């Protein structure tokens, strides 16, 4: 177990038996033991769930009713056992699950505090000494001798909560207890848990109140159909809940609105050898397979939350997809058009690159500031390279064996060779995407907030020039047949075409709204642009530079 973690959950599953026939006699029970036909079915509540919680971290868990949230907490507190998988914990645990269990309505508040305190593990002397502070915290000093049957539900919950927080554990497992009392008392609860967190205590917290998740937690988990759908920053996980469950989204100012963009096409990878293009739809959690010859979508493959970047290996047999909100890499067999497996990486992965000679994949993990190195054959992480910033875009130079990684938060591009950082190159503001012109051994860095593309010599790693494009450039792709580069300008709804020999802009093409990704079918001489804001693909003729087709993606979600 990692010494920095308080909790580690490994491949956890839990099933319950749902009986269809009720046995009422001894004979029926005996016969039932030898019966061949089961009179029950298994309901899988948790399905292969894995995650870890760092010491001093507050992790929120959200999801619809029946998704396994409370079951997960009961397993963490050893109340029930998992069907498979394991958990490891480091520190004493206090469960805040069923507050007030054991309260007696005929006993008064003081008597119930003593009884409940003993249930929580205090001696009678210890809990008696805490009675004044418990009643004060619960704001029930005047009701010390009042029987619980005369309490309102809010008073009952406040008394139970105030008693439970007297425990001093290292790990708190909390289920819906911050809904107790009125608004003022809830605010007091918030401050108490913030104090626990400041003391370095670890808190796992389940609630249906999504604002509490964004207000209190460091990270959050979304459970859907018993599986871990999304893990990451609270605001992003809450947005995943709205998107996946209710087809809504949470805006930056806290407003919940209906999603108009169902797909959110983000990035392309085009395989010219097979005339197939693979499109990552960030909002719909699907990969669309496009026939580039006929310009039609032939299949949609549901994947983990928020597929962002993707790449195909040299053989064209496997497609690798980075899932930003699920912290994982999805591997798809392109012949079967089915998911083969999923590999967990680190936090908030963005970019991906491949070294076909060494059979290695590289994944840029933004929030953990690292690059995961994955062995393609074993599909296991073999190394993690720490970076000095948030990695975003990546490309691998096969001739020099160098990996180029943009760091969007500190305006640098780092150069990695043999898993070591050998160079740091200052570039423009918010470098996001990167590609390579292997013919001339040039590296092109797209700087979103500087509105230019930085050109780097692939041998010396020196900056040669900056090419001014239009507003907020984001995606970039290179066509080796024509030696041209295509840059999506998301802020001006255009694509800039750059000559790879002169590094001069030769044309600018108007496309759809908020273009983010671009791919080239060099054999068909077609350019495909993903327009995120209006759920469309612009198809551009590589010779005339005209938009020859616009593909509407709005029915993609409905077709799954």
Residue 223 has pLDDT above 80, yes or no: yes
Residues 6+ apart with CB under 8 A from 378: none
Q: What's residue 245's pLDDT?
A: 62
Q: What's residue 213's pLDDT?
A: 85
Residue 178 has pLDDT above 70, yes or no: no
Higher-pLDDT residue of 184 and 140 is 140
Residues 6+ apart with CB under 8 A from 246: none
Summarize the confidence of residues 455-479 as an average pLDDT.
95
Residue 202 has pLDDT above 80, yes or no: yes
Structure tokens at 93: 């645990």
| Average pLDDT across the chain, whole number | 86
pLDDT, tens digit, 9 for 90 and up, residues 297-353: 898 888 888 899 999 998 889 999 999 888 889 999 999 998 988 888 888 899 999
**Fold that domain 1-91+215-259 belongs to in CATH:** Rossmann fold (3.40.50)
Q: What's residue 372's pLDDT?
A: 94
- Of the pLDDT bands very low, low, confident and very high (cuts 50, 70, 90), residue 243 is low
Distances (CA, A) of 228 to 51, 68, 84, 118: 9, 10, 16, 36
Residues 6+ apart with CB under 8 A from 1: 8, 88, 90
SS (H, E, C) 423-441: EEEECCCCEEEEEEECCCC
Summarize the confidence of residues 6-13 as an average pLDDT.
93
Separation between Cα atoms, residue 279 and residue 262, nearest integer Å: 14
Summarize the confidence of residues 145-153 as an average pLDDT.
85
Residue 557 has pLDDT above 80, yes or no: no
Summarize the confidence of residues 246-271 as an average pLDDT.
67
Separation between Cα atoms, residue 445 and residue 427, nearest integer Å: 8
Residue 452 has pLDDT above 60, yes or no: yes
pLDDT, tens digit, 9 for 90 and up, residues 404-439: 999 998 999 999 999 999 999 999 999 999 999 988
Summarize the confidence of residues 226-241 as an average pLDDT.
84
Q: What's residue 256's pLDDT?
A: 54
**Among 377, 324, 322, residue whose Cα is nearest residue 352:** 322
Domain ranges of the chain: 1-91+215-259, 347-559
Separation between Cα atoms, residue 118 and residue 114, nearest integer Å: 6
**Among 163, 154, 168, residue whose Cα is nearest residue 134:** 163
On the 0-12 / 13-18 / 19+ scale of CB atoms within 10 A, 338 is: exposed
Q: What's residue 39's pLDDT?
A: 63
Separation between Cα atoms, residue 383 and residue 376, nearest integer Å: 13
Higher-pLDDT residue of 210 and 464 is 464
With respect to CATH, is domain 347-559 assigned 3.40.630.30?
no
Q: What's residue 198's pLDDT?
A: 86
Residue 558 sits at the vertex; the CA angle it makes with 556 and 560, to the nearest 5 degrees, is 75
**Among 85, 4, 78, residue whose Cα is nearest residue 49:** 85
SS (H, E, C) 504-544: CEEEEEECCCCEEEEEEECCCCEEEEEECCCCEEEEEECCC
- HSE at residue 166, side-chain half, CA atoms within 13 A, is 30
Per DSSP, the three-state class of 216 is helix
**Among 349, 434, 423, 424, residue whose Cα is nearest residue 395:** 434
pTM recorded for the entire structure: 0.59
Per DSSP, the three-state class of 285 is coil
């Amino acid at each position: 177990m990692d010494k920095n973690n308080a909790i580690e959950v490994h491949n956890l599953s839990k099933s319950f038996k749902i009986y269809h026939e009720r046995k009422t006699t001894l004979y029926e029970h005996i016969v039932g033991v030898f019966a061949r036909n089961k009179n029950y079915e298994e309901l899988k509540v948790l399905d292969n769930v894995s995650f870890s919680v760092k010491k001093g971290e507050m992790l929120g868990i959200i999801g619809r009713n029946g998704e396994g949230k409370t079951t997960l907490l009961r397993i963490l507190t050893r109340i029930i056992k998992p069907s498979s998988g394991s958990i490891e914990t480091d520190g004493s645990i206090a469960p805040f699950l069923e507050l007030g269990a054991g309260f007696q309505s005929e006993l008064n508040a003081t008597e119930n505090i003593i009884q409940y305190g003993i249930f929580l593990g205090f001696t009678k002397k210890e809990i008696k000494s805490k009675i004044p502070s418990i009643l004060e915290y619960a704001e029930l000093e005047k009701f010390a001798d009042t029987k619980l049957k005369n309490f309102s539900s809010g008073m009952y919950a406040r008394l139970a909560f105030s008693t439970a927080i007297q425990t001093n554990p290292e790990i708190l497992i909390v289920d819906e207890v911050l809904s107790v009392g009125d608004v003022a008392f809830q605010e007091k609860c918030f401050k108490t848990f913030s104090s626990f967190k400041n003391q370095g205590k670890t808190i796992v917290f389940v609630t249906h109140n999504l604002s509490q998740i964004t207000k209190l937690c460091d990270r959050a988990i979304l459970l859907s159909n018993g599986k871990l759908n999304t893990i990451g920053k609270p605001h992003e996980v809450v947005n995943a809940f709205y998107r996946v469950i209710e087809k809504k989204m949470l805006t930056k100012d806290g407003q919940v609105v209906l999603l108009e963009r169902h797909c959110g096409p983000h990035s392309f990878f085009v395989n010219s050898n097979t005339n197939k293009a693979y499109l990552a739809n960030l909002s719909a959690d699907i990969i669309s397979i496009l026939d580039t010859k006929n310009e039609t979508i032939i299949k949609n493959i549901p994947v983990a939350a928020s597929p962002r970047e993707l790449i195909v290996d040299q053989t064209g047999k496997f497609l690798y997809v980075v899932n930003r909100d699920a912290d994982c890499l999805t591997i798809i067999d392109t012949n079967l058009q089915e998911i083969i497996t999923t590999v967990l990486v680190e936090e908030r992965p963005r970019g991906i690159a491949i070294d076909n000679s060494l059979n290695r994949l590289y994944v840029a993990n933004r929030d953990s500031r690292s690059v995961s190195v994955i062995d393609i054959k074993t599909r296991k992480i073999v190394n993690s390279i720490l970076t000095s910033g948030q990695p975003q875009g990546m490309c691998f130079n096969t001739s020099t064996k160098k990996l180029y990684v943009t760091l969007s938060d500190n305006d640098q591009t780092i150069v990695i060779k043999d898993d070591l950082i050998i160079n740091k190159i200052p570039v423009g503001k918010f470098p996001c995407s990167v590609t390579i012109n292997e013919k001339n051994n040039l590296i092109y860095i797209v700087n979103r907030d500087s509105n230019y593309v930085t050109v780097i010599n692939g041998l010396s790693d020196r900056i040669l020039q900056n090419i001014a494009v239009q507003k907020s450039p984001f995606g970039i792709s290179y066509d080796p047949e024509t030696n041209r580069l295509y840059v999506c300008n998301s802020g001006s709804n255009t694509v800039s075409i750059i000559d790879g020999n002169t590094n001069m802009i030769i044309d600018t093409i108007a496309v759809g709204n908020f273009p983010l990704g671009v791919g080239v079918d060099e054999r068909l001489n077609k350019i495909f642009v993903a327009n995120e804001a209006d759920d469309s693909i612009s198809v551009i003729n590589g010779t005339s530079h005209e938009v020859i087709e616009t593909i509407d993606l709005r029915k993609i979600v409905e077709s799954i």
